[in-house]
Amino acid sequence: MKMKISLASLLLLAAVLISSCYYDKEGLLYSGNSGPCTDSTGTVSYAQKVVPLLQQYCYSCHTGSFPSGNQLMGTYTADKAMALNGKLYGTISHAAGLSPMPKGMSKMTNCQIAVIKKWIDSGTLNN
């Protein structure tokens, strides 16, 4: 009987030790990010950080004579207007009441969204 209690105690201790080693970082596991977001720290450059993201995800549909959804992008003035009216951040963050973007593609990563949000929050500078 004493041996059964010792064995049970040992198994219980092993289970506690094994389960205590679980490491869960929700942002890394479920957000599509592979590491910490460093692109949104400091000053975010429109030309170097924001435009490449908009080119990758937005400009293919939202430029030209007949932009999708009648939402013209592709110039600083147009991009700034979309940022200031809330549609840019709202659509890429999939906010309720706005059409989630980009259509037909994966949602931007949290880091990419943070870069655009930082640019907007910093005054949408043309830098």
* Integer CA distances (angstroms), 74 to 45, 52, 71, in order: 16, 11, 10
Residue 75 has pLDDT above 70, yes or no: yes
pTM above 0.75, yes or no: no
Residues 6+ apart with CB under 8 A from 34: 28
Res 22: pLDDT: 45
pLDDT at 61 over 90: yes
Q: Please tell me the distance from the alpha carbon of residue 26 to that of residue 45, in angstroms, as a whole number.
A: 28
Q: Per-residue pLDDT averaged across 47-69, rounded?
A: 96
Q: Quick one: average pLDDT of 48-72?
A: 95
Residue 104: half-sphere exposure toward Cβ, Cα within 13 Å: 5
